[in-house]
Amino acid sequence: MGNQRSFEPGGVGAFDLFQGLKRLSPQGIVIWATTIGPKRLSGFRPAVLPLRLSSFRVDHGWEMQPAPNIQQRLLGVRVNGWQVDVRVYFATQHPGKKLLAEAQAELNRLLLPQRG
């Protein structure tokens, strides 16, 4: 059967971001960062790390929003030759200063692969 795995009940299973966001506590934060690689897609302006949360677009509602309390912040940039899509999710439409500072602290830890 090759690379197939079976999961025990209560163990790690398939990850579902939107279902997870529905269960996120009001003080919870999810940061989802993906690298697209060296392709040159439009809309990715140059940036440097650490990314600043204040530069992210804020969405209070969007298509397929899992729950009305979920706020999404997103940014698509080019850093050191990598195109990066970063999304920050809060389980509140009005995150306070402490929650925003915690999200920024996590963004400050973001590292990208070294270009080969």
Taking the domains of the chain in order of start, what are their residue ranges?
Answer: 28-107
Contacts of 18 (CB under 8 A, 6+ apart): 64, 66
pTM assigned to the model: 0.82
pLDDT in tens, 85-116: 999 999 999 999 999 999 999 999 999 987 65
pLDDT in tens, 51-96: 999 999 999 999 999 999 999 999 999 998 889 999 999 999 999 9
